[in-house]
Structure 1
Amino acid sequence: MSIFSDNIRFLRGKKEITQQELADTLIITRSRYVSYEDGRSEPPIEVLVKISKFFNISIDLLVSVDIRKYPLDEILRLPDNRIVLPVVVDKLGNNSIEIIPQKASMGYLSGYSDPEYIESLQRISLPFLTNGKYRAFPAQGDSMPPFKDGSYIIGKYLERIDDLKENKSYVFVTLNDGISYKRFKSKNEKSITVTADNSFYEPYEISFYEIVEIWQYASGIFPEDFEPYHFENHNLKDMFLELRKDIRDLNIKVSGLKEEQNSIG
């Protein structure tokens, strides 16, 4: 027996279907399916994909996690055959918010789909955040005003890219940049365009392939020393950054004119 064989036996039982019915769905013989469930053989990748899609459970969870330990009714099902697990609630039924630690944020890309990693995170509950799955991400760098180092951005999980709204803020988890807080600008067939609230940074594109998760901004947790006047400081800082940006653009134009003159001469 294996984790995979235990999982498919368990999942088939939850669906209350026979081995023959599942084998017919997978377009294989019953004896072949039984060999998978008994752990005597392993399915080829094409059959494994069919099993994964049938149960709506990602392949990595099917083969590596004993899902019998997690109530299926508390699993939040996501598109593209991915699952966030578990959805934890407190004694009052409020949704728990997992907090991604500042020091461990770089490990989120490898741990976001690992139940043990998610379960190890600290949690809080905010009664005014309901009807969704929420997670708190650390703010880092100067591209996220008014958030600064030590702040946390609470995001609500967004299931579809089509649900992005122009000029709204989101936490994007991507293969290249990891965790970033950006404002959505536009979308085309292959990518989205986002921009930082700090105007010094240019808008840029993120391909659909790079996107791991999207969390819509819901609330923020600020350091103890955060005060309203910090907004004014950010505005002043933005003025200097904008000036630097203008100087940089001017230098680029001047260089271009010089190249044109040299080519003409």
Structure 2
Amino acid sequence: MKPIQANIKHLRALRKLSQERFADELNWTRSVVGSYEEGRSEPPIDRLIDLSNFFNIPIDILVKNDLRKAKDTSFIEVGNKRVLFPVTVNEDNEDLIEIIPTKASAGYLSGYDDPEYIEQLQKIKLPFLPTGTHRAFPIKGDSMLPVKDGAFIVAKFLEDIRDIKNGRTYIILTKDDGLVYKRIYVPEGDTTSLLLSSDNKSYQPYLIARDTVLEIWEFTCCINTQEYDEKELKLSSIMTMFQELKVELESIKQL
């Protein structure tokens, strides 16, 4: 069975609609709904558009992703559409932190909204973090000194770009640049751009268009790993360091 067929049944169930009621909402017949959910046929493009409009979810997410693990809270509003935001929890329904390993960070741009990509990431729980959804991102290079190459930034997901605090640091995912860690400034009177600045003044600040931003994560803390031997910095070792807190944990001033 293809994802779209399982997704129709799952999303209908999330809305607590019977097949008959769902069919009425879309001006379809109940037998059409049944044929899609049972995998006997596939919806043509006009009915994919109906589904996209009804659930307010882009067609590509409906078609490409298996949404059966998703709840209504797994979607966030971006513009006038909802997009999938995979969140993993433990057996106590507590949010877990996904660790984006250095070698996998280049693939985050294509996998950030894919539940299967997020599912395969290693996960930990850091009880000292404030409420909210957090992920740990690897830092490359020296553009944000004193945060050094090899450190991890633990950051909290920011749902609304309008909540950016001028001059604070964020992990930003953009269509053009992938993942970057920068200090963000909101140009006065400019509602279409953001100014990204490095703390290392050897790097020049630059503007990006707001509509290229896919995700923003607000800095929570920095976990430095420089004191460890390179051989120790395998993902499994980093996870152990996180869990046992045998790393230097420091807050970076946001001034």
**Against the structure 1 CA distance between its residues 155 and 49, is the aligned structure 2 distance closer, same or farther, given a 3 Å change threshold?**
farther
| Deviations 1:97-145, CA, capped at 9 Å, x for gaps | 1111111211111111221211111122111213211011111111111
Higher relative contact order (CA 8 A, sep 6+): 2
Q: CA deviation at 1:152?
A: 0.5
Amino acid at match of 1:160: D
TM-score by length of 1: 0.74
Alignment of 1:119 onto 2:119 = yes
Q: CA deviation at 1:71?
A: 5.8
Q: CA deviation at 1:6?
A: 2.2
Distance 1:175 1:89 in 2: 31
Distance 1:5 1:201 in 2: 49
- Unpaired runs of at least 5, structure 2: 229-246, 249-255
Cα RMSD over matched residues? 2.7
Contact 1:142-1:198 at 8 Å conserved across structures: yes
Which 4+ stretches in 1 moved above 4 angstroms? 27-35
1:59 match: 59
Distance 1:204 1:110 in 2: 24
2:243 match: none
Contact 2:87-2:95 at 8 Å conserved across structures: no
Contact 2:150-2:226 at 8 Å conserved across structures: no
Amino acid at match of 2:208: I
2:90 match: 89
Matched ranges for 1:178-193 at <5 A:
178-187=178-187, 188-193=190-195
Q: CA deviation at 1:224?
A: 4.3
Over alpha carbons, which structure has the higher Rg?
A: 1
Name the SS for the 2:102 alignment partner: coil
Name the SS for the 1:113 alignment partner: coil
Sequence identity of aligned pairs in percent?
A: 45
Name the SS for the 1:130 alignment partner: coil
Tell me how many residue pairs correspond in the alignment: 225
2:76 match: 78
Q: CA deviation at 1:8?
A: 0.8
- Unpaired runs of at least 5, structure 1: 229-265
Distance 2:11 2:76 in 1: 18
Distance 1:168 1:86 in 2: 25
1:23 match: 23
1:194 match: 196
Q: Which has the higher helix share?
A: 1
**Against the structure 1 CA distance between its residues 128 and 5, is the aligned structure 2 distance closer, same or farther, given a 3 Å change threshold?**
same
2:221 match: 219
**Against the structure 1 CA distance between its residues 224 and 197, is the aligned structure 2 distance closer, same or farther, given a 3 Å change threshold?**
closer
